Amino acid sequence: RKDGGVVIPRAPGEAVATKVSRVTTIPHLVQRELVVAMVMMAVVLIFSMVVNAPLEALANPDLSPNPAKAPWYFMGIQELLLHFHPLVASMIIPGLALGALVIMPYLDADMDSVGIWFRSNKGRRMGLVAAGIGLVATPLLVVADEIVLDLAGWLPSLPTLLSNGFIPLAIVLLLLIGFYDGMKKRFAATNCETIQATFILLLTAFIVLTAIGIWFRGPGMALMWPWEVAAAGVGH
């Protein structure tokens, strides 16, 4: 949209072509989209024919499964519910994330990087660093919250919405602000590059949370190794 059409990839430092030859959407773009759609449908059809997906037993309202896991695409949010107050995990954090996605396009006007993957070479390095931090820090924080941290127990006089909701949320937001400021100073980066790195960090963290919820949560949503979860007969 911002480039006036389908973006043509270019290398960092490569000047934008002053005159770009254009073709009509139909048939040049639609034809390619149709081919991709047909290939994807064929892949999904073949996958569904090869991989068995048996139904479980009929639901028993008198016996809840242990654990009662959400579908895999909601496991990241269900994992958040184990670490935050339900209101914060299910409403406030997703709301903040959605709001950030809405305003993000209006905060990247300090560099011309249309068509450049990850904005620049510096942006690529920052993205790798952010992904690495997310891969390491997220499981460490999950384990720490599981074993060490107990804000509700340490602050018994406060409502759980504060001790297990807004206080840990404020701590996470402060860590994100520190990450943003540190990355911007360390790499002498623009707002575009730093916002992108922060987004990659959050996306990586959410993917890790989803993976933990799927493969590392057993009966009672206790942390386990994947083979222990499989031995306990917990479905994904």
Nearest Cα neighbor of 134 from 66, 84, 197 is: 197
Domain map (residue ranges) of the chain: 72-231
Rg (CA), the chain: 23
Confidence check: pLDDT of 236 > 60? no
For residue range 47-86, list pLDDT tens digits in order: 999 988 888 778 888 888 888 888 889 999 999 999 999 9
Mean pLDDT for 206-218 is 94
Is residue 198 within 8 A of residue 180, CB to CB? The reply is yes
Nearest Cα neighbor of 130 from 166, 88, 82, 180 is: 180
Residue with token string 């992904």? 131
Ranking 60-64, 152-156, 178-182 by mean pLDDT, the lowest is 60-64
